[in-house]
Chains A and B, each alone.
Chain A
Amino acid sequence: MLIPHPLLGLRDAQEFTYLGDASLLDRPDPAREDAAEAFYEYAYLRDNPAGVHRELWFHENGDRSWLVVTRDTVTHEILGAELARDVKLRGKRTT
């Protein structure tokens, strides 16, 4: 597989390590009342769709960027890749 790194262009998937569902970006607020329940879901529950999936890849043998890669798990087609920090910062601005 080839991953379109937003800074470095197409890179071989062998340069990356995989973490999984990009929902890991959405760490709950520890101060909220139901924090225990929210963290339980955050730590343990993942969607595992057959189809389009947003997931985290780490360019470990590269520039150490964390990427959010949108991939179709059925066809392995990669629909896009963004720097995770950009995704996160954008989310923080809108919320």
Chain B
Amino acid sequence: MTRHAGGLLDRTRSLTFTFNGRRLNGYVGDTLASALLANGVQLVGRSFKYHRPRGIFSAGAEEPNALVTLRSGAHAEPNTRATVVELYDGLEAKSQNHIGPLEYDFMAVNDLLSPLLAAGFYYKTFMWPRAFWEKLYEPAIRRAAGLGALSGEADPDMYDRGYLYPDLLIIGGGPAGLMAALTAGRAGVEVVLADEDFRFGGRLLAEDAVIADAPGMDWVAATLAELRSLPNVRLMVRTTVFGVYDHGVFGAVERVSDHLLNADGQVRQTFWRISAKRSILAAGATERHIPFANNDRPGVMLSGAVRAYANRWAVSPTRKAGDGVAVFTSNDDGHRTARSLLTFGVPVKAVIDTREEIESIGDYRTVAAASVTDTRGRKGLQAVQVTDARRSWWLHCGALAVAGGWNPNVHLASHHRARPVWDAARQCFVPSGAPAGMRVAGAAAGEGSTAAALASGAGVAVESLGELGVKAVPSVPHAVEEAASGEAFWHVPGKKRAWVDFQNDVTVKDIKLSHQENMRSVEHLKRWTTLGMATDQGKTANVTALAVMAELTGKTIPETGTTIFRPPYTPVSLGVLGGGDTGAHFRPWRLTPTHAWAEAQGAVFVEAGLWMRAQYFPRSGETHWRQSVDREASAVRSGVGICDVTTLGKIDVQGSDAGEFLDRIYVNMMGTLKPGKVRYGLMLREDGQLYDDGTCACLAQGQYVVTTTTANAGSVFQRMEFARQCLWPELDLTLISTTDAWAQLAVAGPQSRALLERIVDDFDLSNEAFPFMACAPLTICKGLRARLFRISFSGELAYELAVPARYGHALMERLIELGEDLGATPYGTEALGVLRIEKGHATANEITGQTTAVMLGLGKMVSRKKDAIGAVLSRRDGLEEDTRRLVGLVPVDPGESVVAGAHLFGTTDPQDLAHDQGWITSACYSPHVGSSIGLGYLERGDTRMGEEIVAANPLEGQSTRLRVTSAHFVDPEGERLHA
């Protein structure tokens, strides 16, 4: 163990976890990374391309190396950064990207092949022979290079989503964020303070800062206690605000139970949409490293991380306790790491500083004007080579802390394309602007010292509150200022490989190659070398790479420019973005009023948009769906069938101008409809194509019910609202959808009148009193209000009966019970389809958006006496002169099938596009005809009755001879309908 005294751990609670099957121990308060380091584990993975041994590099979200797979089976989560994984009892972690054991990865041979694998190698090396790329090179490269693997199983975890509407969102709970939250919280506004860590404090957790003459963590504890007492402040730990969207909307992920072995019914993560009036970005800064030869060995780490492991987790990052640590720095910050290590008795071998003039802040050896020029140690650091102006020598050490200065975490500030600018004094990019309503505070704004962060947090909070009309008086505690000077030192020159981007294996050499090959702009550099394109998005690499490129091109850093950032700040799992709406929860289900009844009858259901509709009702002994469907269709033709047609859209239109309005919606005359009558109507799109069809019933003067197809119920209503509000707002009418208010049952067949007579209250159903296309409000079953329409989709004597939705189930039961002797049979959508094809009625198969009233044979319905939506453009030559017509089709050999989708050709014509004469829109087996039948659009179809044609599917070599007939297979004269 390399654990020493101190730290923010609960040492009374020991935790057991496994890494590659090895059982190890840690404490509550550890991360996976700190616990691994405490157990002397330095080697945790292999690099992406060269399979080089890699160790923990950082102590936060910027980690490029320590990617592990957590858990196993369906719960496995690859590419998790060990540095942000909160340790829990029973945690299971495995290393990634190696074949064979981690210590002896067979793919490490790639490292020897590195000359072949330089920047852009896949555009050059594997070009020949061409055919080998897809079959051999790419699969091999993909297998060799990579990250962890997905389980391939469905995600078993639960997710949730939530919405927050604070006045002020503060992103980051370090000194700046806490100070801002305290200032705003005391002023009484609604505050959300979110931090990605499982503890608030930010860098104060990792430093030995002094605030108000006491340890910094005392101030954090007191501040948190006060914030918790304020009901207007919501504190959210384990919450990453990953993106900024328009108008102050933020995306955030809260890891609710990722740190628990057993979630115990809790969701794993919650996706928060936070809509904030103002926001403060206090996301801190990320330390830079300094590339030098072989700087990627396990044990080479960021200096601030080494300090964090010492102060927060009481860990020395060496393999054995007592091994020395060296520091390589270009600034004063590196010296603070040495001081912290010494505080806990960790030997400091030397602080190697690139500067001439340096000031030691403790009892350790310093080497001025020197740099680290190489390292040794196959699976972990053994020694570093130190070089100054005169000589080089090897210095034994178990870890090296590298301090190259700090880069403000400007990411979220540039999500709306504000480009960070170079601050020459501070040697870093700082935000030049931010999304509307956002201010940047603390280290994220370049105000990196504790004192500056506290002051800037309070300052931006006061400014934000001022914009909200709230006055606040900040009270900023005094913090001890530390020396914070440094020089720009971007990389140690040398011939060997020096890594810039660890995760994607990009070295200084690759940047040089990119420069040589003229890929010099930052965007080209990024794509040619893949720099910054890994899962860490180059958090520890980008600025350093820009500086190296600037040096190569002889330009300044601001001239070289920088890339900007897009969401997400850190990787977000797709599962949480779905917010738990997967599988059956992906969208709402709409159930018909008779759903439970149909279920009890053993119905088979089919999805129709959001609706579940009964498709058919199998009876015992029926082994094939066709048997059920044929029986149901025949029952309608011979007796009476009942079908739930509630899903058809129902729109109530009322007002003194309702008739005029309907005339403009339907292409046929509708305003002339008299109370008690129903009329079939066609709607067009404004471009003249057919849009929807249905019936319109006039229940009383100025009161109409429009029905639509199931599929278009929503969009017809939307378009009618468009017409009412946007085109003719001067008309007096109102619209409301009543689709869900009324249960509507079709009662169809020669016995339908006999059946309905048994339930209506004193209502004359005779043909004279209630003829075809009549409608009426009435009561049934001794007083239940209902609406009756004599309309037919099947071509039989038929009615549709509507009752308030809650009576739909009872009505269905009653009709079946009372109609037993009449042969009352429930039928589903499949039989409904058979019946309408037999009658030649159009549905969405015929009204596809590419067809017209003329093609349906209903061209005359488009009235020339009035205007209606689509009327003008329907008269275009190309539409009006279309010669294709809807026809019926039967196979010449009754044993053959008509197949929907097949195209129609002359019997002797070649089957190609030039000879295409139309297509089959709908097909079914017709028990009435005794063979397969179909509907289709055929060139001059109305003049070709009795002609033989061929239906072909050239893709599958199918070809069937069909005879052209009327589309009305049943009762073409309409005698049954009017019976």
Interface residues of A (CB under 8 A from B): 1-2, 12, 17, 19, 24-25, 27-28, 30-31, 35-36, 39-40, 42-44, 56, 58, 60, 64-66, 76-78, 83-85, 88-89, 92
Are A42 and B686 in contact (CB-based, < 8 A)?
A: yes
Distance from A91 Cβ to chain B, minimum over Cβ atoms (Å): 10
Distance from A56 Cβ to chain B, minimum over Cβ atoms (Å): 7
Does B581 count as interface, using CB distance less than 8 angstroms?
Answer: no
Does B364 count as interface, using CB distance less than 8 angstroms?
Answer: no
Assuming A2-B275, A30-B867, A66-B722, what are 7 further A-B pairs, CB within 8 angstroms?
A: A27-B727, A30-B872, A58-B718, A58-B721, A60-B714, A76-B246, A85-B729
* A27 partner residues in chain B, CB cutoff 8 A: 686, 727
Does B876 count as interface, using CB distance less than 8 angstroms?
Answer: yes
Q: List 12 A-B pairs, Cβ < 8 Å.
A: A1-B246, A1-B249, A12-B249, A24-B726, A36-B875, A40-B873, A43-B873, A56-B722, A56-B726, A58-B722, A66-B726, A85-B729
Contact of B726 among A35, A39, A85 (CB under 8 A): A85
In angstroms, Cα B867 to Cα A39, docked, is: 12
Closest residue to B247 on the A side, CB-wise? A2
Are A88 and B687 in contact (CB-based, < 8 A)?
A: no
Are A2 and B726 in contact (CB-based, < 8 A)?
A: no
In angstroms, Cα B687 to Cα A88, docked, is: 22
Does B134 count as interface, using CB distance less than 8 angstroms?
Answer: no
Are B726 and A1 in contact (CB-based, < 8 A)?
A: no
In angstroms, Cα B718 to Cα A31, docked, is: 26
List 6 A-B pairs, minimum CB-CB distance, nearest first.
Answer: A85-B729, A30-B867, A2-B247, A76-B246, A85-B725, A1-B246
A-contacting residues, B157-199, CB 8 Å: none
Distance from B660 Cβ to chain A, minimum over Cβ atoms (Å): 15
Distance from A12 Cβ to chain B, minimum over Cβ atoms (Å): 8
Does B248 count as interface, using CB distance less than 8 angstroms?
Answer: yes
Distance from A88 Cβ to chain B, minimum over Cβ atoms (Å): 5
Are B725 and A88 in contact (CB-based, < 8 A)?
A: yes
Distance from A40 Cβ to chain B, minimum over Cβ atoms (Å): 7
In angstroms, Cα B873 to Cα A83, docked, is: 28
In angstroms, Cα B725 to Cα A31, docked, is: 22
A-contacting residues, B706-752, CB 8 Å: 714, 718, 721-722, 725-727, 729-730
In angstroms, Cα B875 to Cα A61, docked, is: 36
Are A64 and B729 in contact (CB-based, < 8 A)?
A: no
* B727 partner residues in chain A, CB cutoff 8 A: 25, 27, 88
Q: Given A1-B249, A35-B872, does the pair A84, B726 have CB atoms closer than 8 Å?
A: yes
A-contacting residues, B190-249, CB 8 Å: 245-249
Interface SS majority for chain A? mixed
In angstroms, Cα B317 to Cα A95, docked, is: 79
* A66 partner residues in chain B, CB cutoff 8 A: 721-722, 725-726
Are B722 and A39 in contact (CB-based, < 8 A)?
A: no
Interface residues of B (CB under 8 A from A): 245-249, 275, 436, 686-687, 714, 718, 721-722, 725-727, 729-730, 867, 871-873, 875-876
Closest residue to A1 on the B side, CB-wise? B246
Interface SS majority for chain B? helix
Are B249 and A2 in contact (CB-based, < 8 A)?
A: yes
Closest residue to B724 on the A side, CB-wise? A85
Are A65 and B871 in contact (CB-based, < 8 A)?
A: no
Are B871 and A89 in contact (CB-based, < 8 A)?
A: no
Are A64 and B726 in contact (CB-based, < 8 A)?
A: no
Are A92 and B871 in contact (CB-based, < 8 A)?
A: no
Distance from B577 Cβ to chain A, minimum over Cβ atoms (Å): 14
How many A-B residue pairs lie within 8 Å, measured between CB atoms?
A: 70
In angstroms, Cα B727 to Cα A76, docked, is: 27
Closest residue to B436 on the A side, CB-wise? A77
Contact of A88 among B248, B714, B729, B867 (CB under 8 A): B729
* B873 partner residues in chain A, CB cutoff 8 A: 36, 39-40, 43
In angstroms, Cα B873 to Cα A28, docked, is: 12
In angstroms, Cα B10 to Cα A67, docked, is: 58
In angstroms, Cα B249 to Cα A61, docked, is: 19
Are A84 and B686 in contact (CB-based, < 8 A)?
A: no
Contact of B687 among A2, A24, A43, A76 (CB under 8 A): A43
In angstroms, Cα B686 to Cα A40, docked, is: 9
Distance from A37 Cβ to chain B, minimum over Cβ atoms (Å): 10
Distance from B731 Cβ to chain A, minimum over Cβ atoms (Å): 11
* A76 partner residues in chain B, CB cutoff 8 A: 246-247
Distance from A55 Cβ to chain B, minimum over Cβ atoms (Å): 12
* B687 partner residues in chain A, CB cutoff 8 A: 43-44
Closest residue to A64 on the B side, CB-wise? B721
Distance from B737 Cβ to chain A, minimum over Cβ atoms (Å): 9
In angstroms, Cα B875 to Cα A5, docked, is: 39
Most B CB within 10 A of own CB, among A2, A17, A35, A39:
A39
* B247 partner residues in chain A, CB cutoff 8 A: 1-2, 76, 78
In angstroms, Cα B872 to Cα A78, docked, is: 35
Are A25 and B726 in contact (CB-based, < 8 A)?
A: yes
* A43 partner residues in chain B, CB cutoff 8 A: 686-687, 873
* A85 partner residues in chain B, CB cutoff 8 A: 725-726, 729
Distance from A59 Cβ to chain B, minimum over Cβ atoms (Å): 10
* B876 partner residues in chain A, CB cutoff 8 A: 36
Closest residue to A68 on the B side, CB-wise? B726
* A39 partner residues in chain B, CB cutoff 8 A: 686, 872-873
In angstroms, Cα B727 to Cα A88, docked, is: 7
Are B725 and A17 in contact (CB-based, < 8 A)?
A: no
* B436 partner residues in chain A, CB cutoff 8 A: 77
In angstroms, Cα B248 to Cα A95, docked, is: 39
Distance from B849 Cβ to chain A, minimum over Cβ atoms (Å): 14
In angstroms, Cα B75 to Cα A5, docked, is: 44
Closest residue to A60 on the B side, CB-wise? B718
* B245 partner residues in chain A, CB cutoff 8 A: 1
In angstroms, Cα B725 to Cα A43, docked, is: 18
Are A89 and B730 in contact (CB-based, < 8 A)?
A: yes
Are A83 and B248 in contact (CB-based, < 8 A)?
A: no
Distance from B248 Cβ to chain A, minimum over Cβ atoms (Å): 7
Are A2 and B725 in contact (CB-based, < 8 A)?
A: no
Closest residue to A42 on the B side, CB-wise? B686
In angstroms, Cα B686 to Cα A11, docked, is: 30
Closest residue to B163 on the A side, CB-wise? A12
* A78 partner residues in chain B, CB cutoff 8 A: 247
In angstroms, Cα B726 to Cα A44, docked, is: 18
Closest residue to B872 on the A side, CB-wise? A39
* A89 partner residues in chain B, CB cutoff 8 A: 729-730
Closest residue to B735 on the A side, CB-wise? A64
* A1 partner residues in chain B, CB cutoff 8 A: 245-247, 249
Are B872 and A2 in contact (CB-based, < 8 A)?
A: no
Closest residue to B868 on the A side, CB-wise? A30
In angstroms, Cα B246 to Cα A19, docked, is: 19
In angstroms, Cα B629 to Cα A25, docked, is: 48
Distance from A20 Cβ to chain B, minimum over Cβ atoms (Å): 12
* B872 partner residues in chain A, CB cutoff 8 A: 28, 30, 35-36, 39
In angstroms, Cα B686 to Cα A43, docked, is: 6
In angstroms, Cα B875 to Cα A40, docked, is: 12
In angstroms, Cα B165 to Cα A2, docked, is: 12
Are A30 and B246 in contact (CB-based, < 8 A)?
A: no
* A31 partner residues in chain B, CB cutoff 8 A: 867
Distance from A58 Cβ to chain B, minimum over Cβ atoms (Å): 6
Distance from B927 Cβ to chain A, minimum over Cβ atoms (Å): 42
Distance from B581 Cβ to chain A, minimum over Cβ atoms (Å): 13
In angstroms, Cα B249 to Cα A1, docked, is: 7
In angstroms, Cα B873 to Cα A36, docked, is: 6
Closest residue to A30 on the B side, CB-wise? B867
* B871 partner residues in chain A, CB cutoff 8 A: 30
Closest residue to A58 on the B side, CB-wise? B718
Are A19 and B722 in contact (CB-based, < 8 A)?
A: yes
* A19 partner residues in chain B, CB cutoff 8 A: 722
* A83 partner residues in chain B, CB cutoff 8 A: 725
In angstroms, Cα B183 to Cα A83, docked, is: 40
In angstroms, Cα B779 to Cα A87, docked, is: 44
In angstroms, Cα B723 to Cα A25, docked, is: 9
Closest residue to A29 on the B side, CB-wise? B867
In angstroms, Cα B730 to Cα A70, docked, is: 23
Distance from B764 Cβ to chain A, minimum over Cβ atoms (Å): 39
* A77 partner residues in chain B, CB cutoff 8 A: 436
